[in-house]
Amino acid sequence: MAKIPSPWDDNDDKGPWADNDIITPKVKQFKPKKPVEIEIKWWWGVIIVLVIWLGSGFYQVQPNEEAVVLRFGAYNDTTTPGLHYHLPPDRNH
């Protein structure tokens, strides 16, 4: 039985483009780029959480409704229809 030649037996370090005059110069010019290093600082996480927390304070009252604003479970105010803002839940409820 004949032995199947292995592609690794003939290791002359020429590569597959060794005999191609057009591609060889391009392959030699190619330099792989370094991976982009993204350094995430801890304060970016704090800023993102803070923006999401502050953004959660918006509420909308429909045109045919009124909203009752409670502070610590007691009546505080009545708001009219439209887009309103209140301090997020940690402070206002």
Q: Which residue has the tokens 């479970």?
A: 73
**Eight-state DSSP code of residue 41:** -
pLDDT of residue 93: 46
Supply the pTM of this predicted model.
Answer: 0.46
Q: What is the per-residue pLDDT for 18? A: 60
Q: Tell which residue, 81, 63, 76, has the closest CA to residue 92.
A: 76
Helical segments of the chain, H only:
23-29, 42-55, 89-92
pLDDT at residue 20, rounded to an integer = 63
- pLDDT (0 to 100) of residue 8: 66
List pLDDT tens digits, range 42-83: 788 889 999 998 888 889 999 999 999 888 888 988 999 999
